Amino acid sequence: MKRLRIGSRGSALALWQANFIAERLKQTAGAECEIVRLRTSGDHMQTASVAKPLAEYSAENVAKGIFIKELEDALLAGSIDLAVHSMKDVPTETPAGLAFLAITQREDPRDCLISRGGRTMKTLPHGARVGTSSLRRQAQLRHRRPDLEIADLRGNVDTRIKKLESGEFDAIVLALAGVNRLGLAGKITQVLDEEVMLPAVGQGALGIEVRVGDEETARLAATLDHDETRSCVTAERAVLRKLQGGCQIPLGALAHVRGGVLHLEAAVFSSRGSEHVQASDEGPASDAAAIGERLGASLLEAGADNILRMAGRSIGQGS
């Protein structure tokens, strides 16, 4: 059995994820792995905002994913054997020659609030400064609390928390899964249920991407696939695909499977949070892609295309 080279970004969270997959592959398949660190376009942009109006983005960044392009290039070049991605960073189109052979069991997909003084969404004072770089989070924060000052926040999880603790922000919003994975759950002030903030498509799930034709790696990776998580992520990504969106559109979506039935909720928000459309659908988990596409169509019929144009993204231009 060959030694697997796992490509990863160099952040603490990305390395945790890569090492987690390496350990799982060792446990389930006896595979030996090494971590290959790569720097991505998204890492170079850590001092810039990825929450600008979408019309200002290059087509390459939106279409290929600023946090995964270099990992995919390395896969295609054969310098790594597999790449581990947060599924929320993965665009809806996968390059020819690559495939996701596993989506692992999902961590809690919700967002969380970390604040100074133990404040919650309800108790943050008028005009409190809240940091996030996500269009989706910004829009939903403004929808719930239009009085808040929403400010851009870049950097890895530790950097963001340090900026909060230094007084630059009154609160920040992060993915609960990442905070938990880094052992920082004690800093969480409030877990934001989906009624308060719908998470990003695929949030909390890890995907393993491999080269088509690399049968040994494919066989090993497939041992980590989790059927229920794959169904949920498939449905959520189908909504995003129907809206022809990249990773940065003000869309929240969350699927659950109960008793073989997949329940899907999704909403699109205007950038100021003043307008939104929301819809839900359900059906057999085996029909995940169709459910997501159907729900995406429902959102468009309800006016999501107009809201996305307001956010700087015109439906029908592709991504």
Provide the residue-wise pLDDT of the chain in tens; the chain has 319 residues. 789 999 999 999 999 999 999 999 999 999 999 999 997 655 544 444 444 443 333 333 333 467 788 999 999 999 999 999 999 999 888 999 999 999 999 999 999 999 999 999 999 999 999 999 899 999 999 999 999 999 999 899 999 999 999 999 999 999 999 999 999 999 999 999 999 999 999 999 999 999 999 999 999 999 999 999 999 999 999 999 999 765 568 999 999 999 999 999 999 999 889 999 999 999 999 999 999 999 999 999 999 998 888 766 544 443 3
Q: Are 239 and 308 in contact (CB under 8 A)?
A: no
Among residues 89, 170, 214, 305, which one is catalytic? 89
Q: Which of 204, 197, 201 is nearest to 239 (CA)?
A: 201
Domain assignment present for 199: no
Within a domain: 258:
yes
133 and 170, same domain (yes or no):
yes
Based on the fold, state whether residues 237 and 308 are members of the same structural domain. yes
pTM for the whole structure: 0.89
| Annotation marks residue 158 as catalytic | no
Residue for token pair 């990776």: 221
Calpha distance 299→90 (Å, rounded): 22
Nearest CA-CA partner of 105 in 5, 42, 28:
28
Residues 81, 215 within the same domain = yes
Q: What is the side-by-side order of every strand in the sheet holding 149-151?
A: 149-151, 129-131, 171-175, 111-115, 190-192
pLDDT in tens, 45-62: 444 444 444 333 333 333
CATH number at residue 234: 3.30.160.40
Same domain, 96 and 218: yes
Residues 266, 315 within the same domain: yes
The count of structural domains within the chain is 3
Q: Are residues 161 and 297 in the same domain?
A: no
Is there a domain that residue 197 lies in? no
DSSP letter string, 111-143: EEEEEGGG--TTTSPTT-EEE---HHHHHHHHH
Residues 1 and 95 occupy one common structural domain: yes
Residues 218 and 307 in one domain: no
Please report, to the nearest 10 degrees, the dihedral formed by the alpha carbons of residues 275, 276, 277, 279 taken in order.
Answer: -150
Q: What is the pLDDT of residue 315?
A: 47
Task: Give domain status of residue 92, yes or no.
Answer: yes
DSSP code for 153: -
For residues 242 and 296, state if they share a domain.
yes
Domain enclosing residue 124, as ranges: 111-192
Q: What is the pLDDT of residue 252?
A: 96
Q: Is 260 a member of any domain?
A: yes
Residues 90 and 221 in one domain: yes
Nearest 5°: phi and psi at 180? -65, -45
Q: Which of 111, 114, 158 is nearest to 136 (CA)?
A: 111
Same domain as 209, residue 100:
yes
Does residue 176 sit in the same domain as residue 306?
A: no
Q: Let me know how many helices (H) and strands (E) the chain has, helices first.
A: 11, 13
Q: Is residue 59 part of a domain?
A: yes
What's the CATH code of the domain at 49? 3.40.190.10
* pLDDT (0 to 100) of residue 312: 63
Q: Provide the token pair at 266.
A: 């999704």
In a domain, 155, yes or no: yes
Q: Is residue 253 part of a domain?
A: yes
